[in-house]
Structure 1
Amino acid sequence: MWILIWGEILSRRFAIIGHEVPAKGGFSLNDLSGSSGRLDVLLRAVNSALFISHGIREDTQIVLHLEGAGSRRIKFDGKSLKGVHPDERSIAGQVRAVTKSQIPPVGVWQEYSRGIAHSGGSIGETLQEWSQEGCEIFIMDANGTPLENLSFGEKSGFVLSDHKPFTNAESDLMCNFESTSLGEKWLQGHSCITIVHHHLDRH
């Protein structure tokens, strides 16, 4: 493995927090919604963020935050991703392989395979990195400003949680960023990503 320098700024970014997904040690591919800490929620988010019919969104990246038994971030980069198919088990296999390796230092991104890198750290580090790179950050929240009432620049990042709400500590880290809503009902994360893509594709 080697340290990867992410110099290119992509136009769309998503970050999703898996509060109970194991950050190390691996997990069973036969129990993605149970003993893996609801990893299935994050896998569907990857699928919605990156894959389209007969192709992949090269302008998008998604960062998974694994917060069970440690803290690890896994980044999927649509521009260079290879060898990953748009199904949960294929993506889960890639995530499991990463979790069997040592967690890199916080803030150091190491390439694991083509288009997949990992680093130590939590959502706070991701927010800091995005801000330093000039990315406008939006927090997905049913009580936020309606998505259609906001304008978006070339570099936009969206933060989501898994089946659990953001913790108080996470909310404190996000309090200075704009929150945006897709309606009064709480939608599943992968559905939110699809709607955001649809909105940005049209505007």
Structure 2
Amino acid sequence: MRRFLLVGSRAQKQGKLNLNDLAGAAGRLDVLIRGLMAGLLTSHGIRENVEIFLALNGGPGPQRILKFSGSEIKGLHANARSVAGIIGEVISEPMPPKGRWVQRRNGVYDSTGTVEDLMASFDHSWVQLDAEGTPLWEYTKSQKEIDSIGFILGDDRLLDKKYAMPISLGSEWLQGSACISICHFILDMGPSIGIEPNR
């Protein structure tokens, strides 16, 4: 399973979502939506071996985390406004209790909690994409193969916290959606990646 966690530093997490101002009033939710689409969608389908998590931090209260499961989701189209509509439906609902996943529609879940708690709930490696980290392809030389891996990305602002080992896709800071596409390309080519699980 490939998991991508996109941290929205100021992304709207509750209330009515203005679909006409995703880059402004919604706290750059447009960046997260592009990442979600890059993570789940192919030209003619959905990647069933992928889960996308959006950590929304805009406004007071706990961090809200949305989960999109590629193996379950229905009705996801390659249209940012359509995806925003799904997110809008979710965040219009009351915030769930911490650590409890509430299914809002097929393949879309809603919870609250911390990035650290989410990471700890999976027994596999997590890496944080960072232009100043160790190049990912150095780990593809490992003889140790792993079945699952998680990637952590920010929005249009650099993450202000180190959650996991920093891994680089090159010396330039790229848009999150491009980073996700590159990760898929590397993993689709079939190399083994040897990174020890975070403890």
TM-score (norm 1): 0.88
The alignment partner of 1:150 has SS state of helix
- Deviation sequence 1:9-45 (CA, Å, 0-9, x none): xx10000001111111122000111111000000000
Determine if contact 1:14/1:62 at 8 Å carries over to the other structure: yes
- Amino acid aligned to 1:94: I
Residues 1:28 and 2:21 are matched in the alignment: no
Where in structure 2 are the equivalents of 1:1-203 lying within 5 Å? 11-69=1-59, 70=61, 71-130=63-122, 134-151=123-140, 153-167=146-160, 170-171=161-162, 174=163, 177-203=164-190
User: In structure 1, how many angstroms separate the alpha carbons of the residues matched to 2:166 and 2:8?
Assistant: 19
How far did 1:129 drift?
1.4
The alignment partner of 1:76 has SS state of strand
How far did 1:122 drift?
2.7
User: In structure 2, how many angstroms separate the alpha carbons of the residues matched to 1:15 and 1:41?
Assistant: 13
- Deviation sequence 1:59-89 (CA, Å, 0-9, x none): 0000000001132100000001002212110
How far did 1:106 drift?
1.1
- Amino acid aligned to 2:148: K
Deviates more, 1:143-152 or 1:60-69: 143-152
CA RMSD, 1 decimal? 1.0
User: In structure 1, how many angstroms separate the alpha carbons of the residues matched to 2:3 and 2:94?
Assistant: 25
How far did 1:158 drift?
0.3
* Number of positions where the alignment pairs a residue of Structure 1 with one of Structure 2: 184
How far did 1:99 drift?
0.6
User: In structure 2, how many angstroms separate the alpha carbons of the residues matched to 1:59 and 1:34?
Assistant: 32
- Amino acid aligned to 2:154: S
- Amino acid aligned to 1:122: T
The alignment partner of 2:11 has SS state of strand
Q: Give unmatched runs, 5+ long, in structure 1.
A: 1-10
Structure 1 segments, 4+ long, off by >2 Å, are none
- Amino acid aligned to 2:70: G
User: In structure 1, how many angstroms separate the alpha carbons of the residues matched to 2:11 and 2:120?
Assistant: 22
Q: Percent identity?
A: 39
How far did 1:153 drift?
1.1
How far did 1:197 drift?
0.2
- Amino acid aligned to 1:139: Q
User: In structure 1, how many angstroms separate the alpha carbons of the residues matched to 2:98 and 2:133?
Assistant: 30
User: In structure 1, how many angstroms separate the alpha carbons of the residues matched to 2:185 and 2:94?
Assistant: 37
